[in-house]
Amino acid sequence: MLLISFGLTCTTLLLVRHSVQKQVRSEIFAGLRNSVNAFQIFQNQRENTLARSAELLADLPNLRALMTTRHEATIQDASASLWRLEGSDLFALADPEGRLVALHTTTPGLTRDLAQQFIRDTSAQEGSGQWWFGGQHLYEVFLKPIYFGPASANRLLGFLAVGYEIDDRLAAEVSRISASQVAFYYGDTIVRTTLPASKESELARQPATLAVANGPGPAKVQLGTEQFLATSLDLTPGKTPAIRLN
């Protein structure tokens, strides 16, 4: 009788435990989905605001006047005040042929050669959704044409690129909004994360595991003694290298 009773008790406990674990796991999955949705809403609002800011800056009369000089040294020096006014992490200007004539960044790392390459690759792609990576700095860039007079006249003076870095402050903000730890990737390179350094190094060693997180359900990730459930959001669908939020 004791053995039977014990066996029934163990079975009941195991079933209850399994049921509770399944329910908790479902709640965690739902929480992850909500976190992704919260980030997407935040990102859409952020992109709309920043794109509008870039559009207004491209229409400033003093920027148009500066671009008419077509003198690189003058444009580089005089554009510094416009960059400070705009408050972006990256500010670049190019002539109508796509030749870089000014570059300002809040932190060193992105070279003029890299910026020139990005300008040439993206000058035909006005708008958002462009990402520049150099010197371990990742920027979301908004590219706008600069016209002399109305855009309908198509008298192109050049291009304006303003970028906002995926930095520790933004990662912390996304972490707060999504109520989870986050990591931004450029390909398999971790650009920014809210994880402590010890766990970041472990995370960097398992890109294959995180690739699974691109699937329909979250993936288990073991970092030291802690186990995490991870999901991934591709910020540049169809492009390589991929830029992901995990």
- pLDDT tens readout for residues 86-108: 889 999 999 999 999 999 999 99
Query: Is pLDDT at 69 greater than 50 in this prediction?
Result: yes
On whether the pTM is more than 0.85, the answer is no
How far is CA 196 from each of CA 40, 128, 181, rounded to the nearest angstrom? 24, 31, 10
Predicted confidence band at 48 (pLDDT cuts at 50, 70, 90)? confident
Query: Is pLDDT at 80 greater than 80 in this prediction?
Result: yes
CA–chain centroid gap for 123, Å, is: 20
Residue % of the chain over a pLDDT of 70 = 80
Query: Is pLDDT at 2 greater than 50 in this prediction?
Result: no
Under CATH, which architecture does the 48-165 domain have?
2-Layer Sandwich (3.30)
Mean pLDDT of 176-202: 87
CA–chain centroid gap for 231, Å, is: 15
Q: Which helix (H) or strand (E) holds 94?
A: strand 90-94
Measured distance CA(147)–CA(12) in Å, rounded? 74
Measured distance CA(163)–CA(141) in Å, rounded? 4
SS3 18: helix
Residue % of the chain over a pLDDT of 90 = 35
Mean pLDDT of 235-245: 80
The pLDDT value recorded for residue 182 is 87
Structure token pair of residue 119: 């300008």
- pLDDT tens readout for residues 122-157: 765 655 568 999 999 999 999 999 999 888 788 999
Predicted confidence band at 13 (pLDDT cuts at 50, 70, 90)? very low
Measured distance CA(57)–CA(61) in Å, rounded? 9
The pLDDT value recorded for residue 19 is 41
Backbone angles phi, psi at 19, to 5 degrees: -65, -45
Q: Residue with structure tokens 């991929």?
A: 242
Mean pLDDT of 202-214: 66
The pLDDT value recorded for residue 241 is 80
Measured distance CA(218)–CA(165) in Å, rounded? 27
Measured distance CA(158)–CA(147) in Å, rounded? 7
Residues of the chain with CATH 3.30.450.20: 48-165
Residue 128: CB partners within 8 Å, gap ≥ 6?
47, 50, 51, 140, 141, 142
